[in-house]
Amino acid sequence: MQAQLSLWKGLLRTTGGAIDPTKSDWVWIEQKWNNGQWRYEREIDTHFFRVKGLTGSVQALHQHDIKNSRETLGFVQSATADETGQKDALTKKITTWGNRLKALASRGEKLELQSAPQ
């Protein structure tokens, strides 16, 4: 797979793009058939992929565990499609927003909603 990653990096480079190792990661996804159903195999730190970064130095890409959620492109997601991380992140944002509203109300301040500038 390192060869395919290197090929992809080269193809991106020819079009003026690049892989930024600080914003790139990967997950090993493997399933095994067990007692009539598929289950994920958890394999961590057994494979390493490296790519030449934006500065020209070769850097390793971070491997995530298949069960861990992470925020990427504004969404919290996991490779298993478990939405618990996204639900937890939204719940935290809603709770924080609610607490701020309560703090405003306790000080007697009003919340004024404004429409976006046209």
Looking at the structure, tell me whether residues 97 and 47 fall in a common domain: no
Looking at the structure, tell me whether residues 3 and 25 fall in a common domain: yes
Asked if the model's pLDDT at residue 118 lies above 80, the reply is no
First to last CA, the chain: 49
**Digit-coded pLDDT (tens) for 75-106:** 898 888 889 999 999 999 999 999 998 998 89
User: 115 lies in a domain?
Assistant: no
Looking at the structure, tell me whether residues 63 and 20 fall in a common domain: yes
> Where in the sequence is the domain holding 98, given as residue range(s)?
69-109
Looking at the structure, tell me whether residues 21 and 45 fall in a common domain: yes
Looking at the structure, tell me whether residues 94 and 45 fall in a common domain: no
Nearest Cα to 86, choosing from 95, 98, 77? 77
Phi, psi of 117 (to 5 degrees): -60, 140
Looking at the structure, tell me whether residues 59 and 75 fall in a common domain: no
Given pLDDT bands bounded at 50, 70 and 90, which one contains residue 36?
very high
Looking at the structure, tell me whether residues 6 and 48 fall in a common domain: yes
DSSP E strands, the chain: 25-27, 30-34, 37-41, 50-52, 58-60, 62-64, 70-72, 75-77
Q: Are 87 and 75 in contact (CB under 8 A)?
A: no
